[in-house]
Amino acid sequence: MQPKVRVRFAPSPTGPLHIGGVRTAIYNYLYAKKFNGDFILRIEDTDQTRFVSGAEDYIIEAFKWLNITFDEGVGVGGIHAPYRQSERTMYRNFALELVEKGWAYYAFDTPQELDDLRKQNEALKRNFQYDSTTRQGLRNSLSLSKEAVEDLIAAGEPYVIRFCFPADTDVVFNDLVRGEVKFNTSLLDDKVLYKSDGLPTYHLANVVDDHLMEISHVIRGEEWLPSCPLHVMLYKAFGWSEDMPQFAHLPLLLKPEGSGKLSKRDGDRLGFPVFPLQWSDPKSGDVSSGYRESGYIPQAVVNMLALLGWNDGTEKEIYSMDELIEAFSIDRISKHGAKFDVAKAKWFNHQYFQKLADDQIAKDYLPILNSKGLNADLDYVTSVVSLVKERCDFLNDLWDNSYYFFKAPETYDEKVVAKRWKDDAGKQMAEILIHLRQMAETECGDDVLFAQNADTFLHNHITEQQLNMGQIMNCIRLALVGEGKGVNLADIMRLIGSGETIRRIEKAIEVLGR
């Protein structure tokens, strides 16, 4: 029987979460949900030098916003608690077990000694590696006598515990994305498992926890592939090979240009966020933009990220979370990096924005209007939203596309004035006004009827008088909107009403002349 699917997202709280990390979490989540498995949040904070305060809270808040939930983990609890590695105290015994079994050794070399060696080798254009070819010449429990080692430990000499890679051995494992992967140990150094500060390194803590937490699949970024042979060997050394998780290393998210990993700098350069939420760096105070603050809809972000490096083999692009869960499979994850596409990100948001109910958008739009000193009633704003939302990708695009429903133009676009308000445009408008005033009076405040009749009148009038349709209609648009853009004129007249329509045309004649 297959073991229960248990996957984890295991970020280190070293700063804001990159969207590449968010995608990793999404793939883990989809995989867990597809197989009714568990999704765990483990915080890997054993590297005290890289710890950034606020990063853990940021991570938790980001997934809340994205509606990605964890079954176990930091902030949730569970049978394997604690899920914050700095609170787990079992690692030392595991490191000692490996020393006992001959899979690891104490090393007393100081950082200064190792640095000197590295420099000496560099001067000779050689690469220094702590491995089977060099370890006998260094200060460790393989080269020193048992008594010397005991004395050093008793004297309180700082030491680390290193993994002892066998010489020139192929480590072969299967990766669910890449197939068979092979590394020769001659390329690998004897990585530190346990540090002199009394904390495990990522490698030891990660493998021990994946084992203890019964993780069935390790789905993580491709940057961890080079660490995987060590992890595979650690499972072997502990005698856990039988229950070793299956590995899937995900391709990178690439720059929009296509080569190199997508970085924060690309985001700054091209004006898009690379983090889910805005982040203020606690040290420098630098603020990086987030998808949430940029007006993205969380479902759109999840959908967009899920499709960066995975597809179900069809052309389908818009998926609900349930559809993603249903369709997701590791074997359809691309082996190649996925180029981030800003226009596509906006396109996804556009699609999700259109799906929102008009009155919901209107409710979110009200505070924006209030911030501009405008009060409008929800029904009116809802009608405006229904007319303009297809022109918007984001909530924040609404104002530019609908301001004229809330206030009369204060200026008129010069280019449009030059192109349209010429010859006897003012005179034409004045004549049209006479008819519109009459209509407004007869229709006594029925703006729907007014807009309908005004529209029919304008078309007839232009045809009968053999006027230029484009010019006349655009002069009216200029008067109502202040620019050459906007939705259908009849819709504008209907919503702003007969009185306001007439006032705006009067004002345009006054400002732009007869």
Give the residue numbers marked as catalytic: 264
- C-beta separation of 73 from 41 below 8 A: yes
Burial class (CB in 10 A: 0-12, 13-18, 19+), 278: middle
Compute, in degrees rounded to 10, the torsion defined by CA atoms 128, 131, 133, 137: 80
Q: Which is nearer to ligand GLU, 44 or 190 (CB)?
A: 44
Angle at 65 between CA 323 and CA 26, to 5 degrees: 45
- Say which amino acid occupies 304: M
Judged by CB under 6 A, the residue of 29, 224, 247, 310 near ligand GLU is: 224
Closer to ligand GLU by Cβ: residue 58 or 202:
202
Work out which of 5, 6, 7, 10 binds ligand GLU, going by CB under 6 A.
10
Least gap, CB of 223 to ligand GLU (angstroms): 8
Site string for ligand GLU, 143-182 (x = CB under 6 A): ----------------------------------------
Q: Judged by CB, which is closer to ligand GLU: 225, or 356?
A: 225
Is 201 near ligand GLU (CB under 6 A)? no
**CA distance linking residue 405 with residue 384, whole number of Å:** 7
Is residue 220 a contact residue for ligand GLU (CB under 6 A)? yes
Residue 11 touches ligand GLU, criterion: CB under 6 A: yes
**Residue 224 or 310 having the CB closest to ligand GLU:** 224
Q: Which is nearer to ligand GLU, 12 or 501 (CB)?
A: 12
Residue closest to ligand GLU when measured from CB atoms: 220
Span of 10-18, 330-338, 436-444, 484-492 interacting with ligand GLU by CB under 6 A: 10-18
Provide the minimum distance between the beta carbon of 50 and ligand GLU in the complex, in angstroms, as a whole number: 10
Distance CA 55, CA 69 (A): 18
> How many Å apart are CA 377 and CA 495, to the nearest integer?
12
Q: Rule CB under 6 A: is residue 206 a binding residue for ligand GLU? A: yes
209 binds ligand GLU (CB under 6 A): no
Consecutive H or E run containing 477 = helix 469-481
Name the residue nearer to ligand GLU (CB basis): 44 or 175.
44
Q: Around 471, how many Cα atoms within 13 Å sit in the side-chain half-sphere?
A: 17
Reduced to 3 states (helix: H, G, I; strand: E, B; else coil), residue 39 is strand
Residues 250-279 that bind ligand GLU (CB under 6 A): none
Q: How far is the CB of 121 from ligand GLU (least distance, A)?
A: 29
Phi and psi angles of residue 403, each rounded to the nearest 5 degrees, phi first: -55, -35
Considering the rule CB under 6 A, would residue 44 count as an interface residue with ligand GLU?
yes
Across 134-168, b (16+ Cβ under 10 Å) vs e yields ebeebbbbbebeeeebeebeeeeeebbbbbbbeee
The number of C-alpha atoms within 13 Å of 198 and in the hemisphere containing its C-beta is 5
Decide: is 425 part of the binding site for ligand GLU (CB under 6 A).
no
- From residue 287 to residue 326, the character string flagging contacts with ligand GLU as x (rule: CB under 6 A) and all else as - is ----------------------------------------
Structural contact between residues 43 and 56, judged by C-beta atoms closer than 8 angstroms: yes
Name the amino acid, one letter, at 114.
Answer: L
Q: Given the complex with ligand GLU, which of 85 and 288 has the nearer CB atom? A: 85
Residue 216 interacts with ligand GLU (CB under 6 A): yes or no:
no
Which residues of this protein are in contact with ligand GLU, per CB under 6 A?
Answer: 10-12, 44, 202, 206, 220, 224
